[in-house]
């Protein structure tokens, strides 16, 4: 068989053993399971999440059960339900590069429980999905989509994880992956940022990926060149395909870069919420009471271009009726800040329709007093951190000047026109770039290297924020955070994941069972053992 990219991935996927996986990757996988289960529990605050899982369960009869509410459906649909719940509040995880957890956790848990897989085999399937999904996302980073919109990741993840759990060999696994990417989903920004469709755009590719594995098991085939053909997958998903990221399997581990979100919302809101909650705590300690909305004259948030761009796009898809929407708030700095200030925290409870409706006017009033500014130094710090985290690998070394021009044109066309690229902004950027950093970037660009050389344990995501809250009585409070809690180098990922699971699970299954669930995940319980803890108690 021709050694195409798909077949090379399948060879590694089908041969990876549990003992090949570094111990820290095993530990981080368990943190990811905690995080995804927490996100699924939290999603039940949304009426659309409950409606989706009940309808799919009703339409798709079968003996598999989705997590964590144990709705019965056929295996692909049950996996899809779990993935859809995981994304509902953007209360997930991310790594270099992609939000892989929705499918990387749901398939090993759901299909693993259905097939009776032990915890080692389920974890191997989870690792495979994360390692391939992260690389696949990296390979389209110079493209029209980003982040949660890379929903094709879940088709690929699901196909590979399911293939492993079904015991498919390299050839059948390759066909499963090719079938999963034969008609990849191409979601709109609005489908993620403004409506209930967000659940389906992740759930359906996950279910399709599982079906692809079953189809491959039955002998259906793909051409196996989907990732190599110039008219294949990359023709629609990348301005400049970066296939050099699809390398280093078993030698470098993108899972080591995973960040666990402590709050519902895009990754770019986390440092802002960390900083704001710090200010709220100091205010209360100083004055003996909590901050009220009428205490606030202005909140000024400074952040990187990533946060500024998220806000610009999120604003474009704000609800026409002006009422707060959980799907839109996830991508809005002013509204997220308002919600955190009103509640004094940010959990799934604050996104329940009753809470949003009750506080709608207060949220709108506070949001109007939040100002977001782009900080070039924070933007450049993200670039420096990514370049440093990838050393000695330098992707730039594989790009020509024409590649860079094509990517730049594509990004300007497909992204918001508010990108800070006017002359004053460019001059500000040049002022912020230090000569030593220019030398370092040029030197890195000459090195080349490969993904196999990267130690992802060194990767950092400084999605920083600095928050200044000015009160109506003239006092000013400031706090900043470079690395959000739960991100590599920030507060412990294990600690954040555990707190998150206990917080969200206890609402549905009680504190005692939530603690037992955490112990089972942390101790390496099998999918079936975890499922047993989630089954409804007899009436």
3-state secondary structure of 414: helix
Q: What is the pLDDT of residues 28-73, one digit of tens each?
A: 999 999 999 999 999 999 998 888 888 787 777 778 899 898 989 9
Picking from 260, 291, 320, the residue at the C-terminal end of a domain is 260
Q: How confident is the model at residue 334 (pLDDT cuts 50, 70, 90)?
A: very high
Q: Report which listed range, 58-62, 103-107, 325-329, 447-451, is most confident.
A: 103-107
What is residue 417's predicted lDDT score, i.e. its pLDDT?
46
Cβ neighbours of residue 456 closer than 8 Å, sequence gap 6 or more: 96, 252, 253, 254, 255, 256, 257, 389
* Residue owning tokens 């990296």: 138
Same domain membership, residue 284 and residue 235: no
Which residue is associated with the tokens 């949001």? 367
Mean pLDDT of 227-256: 92
**Mean pLDDT, rounded, of the chain:** 91
Beta pairing partners, 252: 249
Question: Which of 467, 482, 183 lies closest to 301, judged by CA?
Answer: 467
**Among candidates 197, 319, 264, 258, which has minimal Cα distance to 461?**
258
* Rounded CA separation 266/117 (Å): 33
Does residue 251 share a domain with residue 270? Answer: no
428 belongs to a structural domain: yes
Does residue 296 sit within a domain? Answer: yes
| 281 and 169 in a common domain | no
**In whole angstroms, what is the distance from residue 227 CA to residue 246 CA?**
10
d(C-alpha 385, C-alpha 2), whole Å: 38
Question: Do residues 138 and 190 share a domain?
Answer: yes
Identify the three-state secondary structure at position 497.
helix
Query: According to the model, what pLDDT value does residue 241 have?
Result: 87
Between the two ends of the chain, the Cα-to-Cα distance in Å is 56
Specify if 342 maps to a domain: yes
Backbone angles phi, psi at 373, to 5 degrees: -125, 140
pLDDT at residue 23 tops 70 = yes
Domain region containing 350: 266-484
CATH code at position 467: 3.30.1330.120
Q: Which of 229, 260, 291 is the last residue of a domain?
A: 260
What would the two tokens of residue 300 be? 């000024």
Three-state secondary-structure class, residue 1: coil
Q: What is the dihedral of CA 311, 403, 152, 52, to 10 degrees?
A: 20
Do 362 and 385 have their domain in common? yes
In three state form, how does the secondary structure of 436-467 look?
HHHHHHHHHHHHCCCHHHCCHHHCCCCCCEEE
Do 288 and 437 sit in the same domain of this protein?
yes
DSSP secondary structure string for all residues of 198-259: HHHHHHHHHHHHHHHHHHHHTT----S-TTTSTTSTHHHH-SS--GGGS--BTTB-GGGG-E
Q: What is the CATH number of the domain that holds 71?
A: 1.10.4100.10
- Judge contact between 274 and 485, C-beta under 8 A: yes
87 half-sphere exposure, CB direction, 13 A CA radius: 35
pLDDT in tens, 119-175: 999 999 999 999 999 999 999 998 888 889 999 999 999 999 999 999 999 999 999
- What's the confidence (pLDDT) of residue 52? 81
Give the largest Cα separation in the chain, rounded: 74
Together in a domain, 424 and 457? yes
**Tens digits of per-residue pLDDT, 492-538?**
999 999 999 999 999 999 999 999 999 999 999 999 999 999 988 76
**CB burial of residue 245 (10 Å; 0-12, 13-18, 19+):** buried
Same domain, 17 and 132: yes
For residue range 78-94, list pLDDT tens digits in order. Answer: 999 999 999 999 999 99
Q: 294 pLDDT exceeds 50?
A: yes
Q: Parallel, antiparallel, or unpaired: how do β-strands 296-303 and 259-260 relate?
A: unpaired
> What gap in Å lies between CA 209 and CA 227, rounded to an integer?
16
533 lies in some domain: no
Strand, coil or helix: 468: strand
Q: Which of 70-74, 309-313, 421-425, 474-478 has the lowest mean pLDDT?
A: 421-425
Number of domains in the chain: 2
Burial class (CB in 10 A: 0-12, 13-18, 19+), 217: middle
Judgement on whether residues 182 and 57 belong to the same structural domain of the protein: yes
The answer to whether residues 270 and 253 belong to one domain is no
Percent of the chain with pLDDT over 70: 93
* 275 and 187 together in one domain: no
Report the C-alpha gap between 301 and 337 in whole angstroms: 9
pTM confidence score: 0.91
Of 129, 127, 150, the closest CA to residue 138 belongs to: 150
Nearest to 229 by CA among 407, 2, 4, 400: 4
Pairing of the two strands 465-471 and 476-481: antiparallel
pLDDT (0 to 100) of residue 443: 54
Average pLDDT value for residue range 340-358: 96
User: What does the pLDDT look like over 209-238, one tens digit per residue?
Assistant: 999 999 999 999 998 999 999 888 999 888
* 482 C-beta neighbours (distance < 10 Å), count: 18
**pLDDT score of 467 more than 90:** yes
Asked if residue 537 is part of any domain, the answer here is no
pLDDT of residue 423: 45
Task: Measure the CA–CA gap between 333 and 315, rounded to whole angstroms.
Answer: 10
User: Looking at the structure, do residues 136 and 80 belong to the same domain, yes or no?
Assistant: yes
- The DSSP 8-state label assigned to residue 535 in this structure reads S
Please provide residue 163's backbone torsions phi and psi, each rounded to the nearest 5 degrees. Answer: -60, -40
Higher pLDDT residue, 145 or 108? 108
Residue 494 within a domain: no
Residue 516 lies in a domain: no
Of 225, 260, 295, which residue is a domain's last? Answer: 260
* Mean pLDDT along residues 331-351: 97
Q: Has residue 385 been placed in a domain?
A: yes
Angle at 140 between CA 312 and CA 162, to 5 degrees: 110
Strand, helix or coil for residue 298:
strand
Q: Which residues pair with 95 in a beta bridge?
A: 98
What is residue 288's predicted lDDT score, i.e. its pLDDT?
Answer: 95
Q: Quick check: 109 and 33 in contact, CB under 8 A?
A: yes
């Amino acid at each position: 068989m021709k050694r195409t990219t798909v077949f090379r991935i399948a060879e590694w996927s089908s041969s990876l053993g549990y003992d090949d996986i570094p111990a820290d990757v095993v530990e981080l996988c368990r943190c990811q399971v905690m995080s995804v289960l927490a996100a699924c529990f939290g999603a039940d605050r949304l009426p659309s999440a409950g409606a989706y899982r009940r309808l799919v369960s009703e339409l798709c009869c079968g003996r598999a059960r989705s997590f964590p509410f144990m709705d019965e459906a056929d295996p692909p649909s049950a996996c899809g339900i779990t993935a859809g719940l995981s994304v509902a509040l953007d209360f997930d995880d991310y790594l270099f590069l992609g939000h892989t957890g929705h499918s990387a956790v749901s398939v090993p848990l759901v299909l693993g429980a259905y097939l009776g897989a032990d915890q080692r085999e389920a974890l191997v399937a989870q690792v495979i999905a994360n390692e391939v999904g992260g690389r696949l996302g990296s390979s389209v980073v110079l493209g029209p989509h980003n982040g949660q919109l890379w929903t094709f990741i879940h088709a690929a993840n699901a196909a590979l994880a399911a293939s492993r759990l079904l015991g498919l060999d390299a050839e059948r696994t390759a066909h499963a992956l090719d079938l999963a990417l034969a008609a990849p989903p191409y979601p709109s920004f609005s489908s993620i940022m403004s409506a209930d469709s967000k659940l389906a755009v992740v759930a359906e590719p996950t279910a399709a990926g599982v079906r692809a594995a079953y189809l491959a098991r039955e002998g259906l085939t793909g051409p196996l060149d989907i990732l190599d053909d110039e008219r294949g997958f990359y023709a629609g998903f990348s301005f400049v395909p970066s296939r050099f990221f699809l390398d280093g399997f078993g030698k470098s581990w993108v899972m080591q870069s995973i960040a666990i979100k402590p709050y519902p919302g895009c990754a770019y809101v986390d440092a802002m919420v960390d900083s704001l909650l710090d200010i709220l705590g100091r205010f209360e300690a100083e004055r003996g009471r909590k901050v009220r909305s009428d205490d606030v004259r202005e909140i000024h948030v400074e952040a990187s271009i990533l946060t500024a761009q998220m806000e610009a796009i999120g604003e474009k898809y704000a609800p026409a009726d002006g009422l707060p929407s959980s799907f839109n708030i996830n991508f809005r700095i002013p509204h997220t800040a308002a919600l955190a200030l009103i509640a004094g925290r940010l959990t799934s409870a604050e996104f329940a329709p009753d809470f949003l409706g009750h506080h709608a006017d207060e949220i709108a009033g506070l949001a109007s007093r939040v100002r977001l500014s782009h900080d070039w130094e924070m933007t450049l710090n993200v670039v420096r951190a990514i370049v440093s985290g990838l050393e000695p690998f330098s992707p730039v070394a594989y790009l020509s000047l024409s590649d860079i021009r094509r990517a730049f044109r594509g990004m300007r066309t497909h992204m918001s026109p508010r990108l800070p690229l006017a002359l004053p902004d460019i001059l500000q950027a040049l002022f912020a770039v230090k000569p030593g950093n220019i030398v370092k970037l040029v030197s890195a660009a000459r090195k080349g290297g490969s993904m196999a050389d990267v130690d992802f344990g060194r990767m950092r995501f400084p999605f920083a924020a600095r928050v200044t809250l000015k009160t109506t009585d003239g006092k000013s409070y400031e706090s900043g955070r470079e690395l959000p809690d739960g991100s590599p180098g920030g507060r412990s990922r294990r600690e954040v994941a555990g707190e998150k699971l206990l917080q969200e699970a206890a609402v549905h299954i009680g504190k005692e069972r939530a603690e037992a669930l955490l112990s089972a995940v942390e101790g390496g319980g099998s999918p079936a053992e975890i499922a047993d803890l989630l089954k409804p108690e007899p009436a």
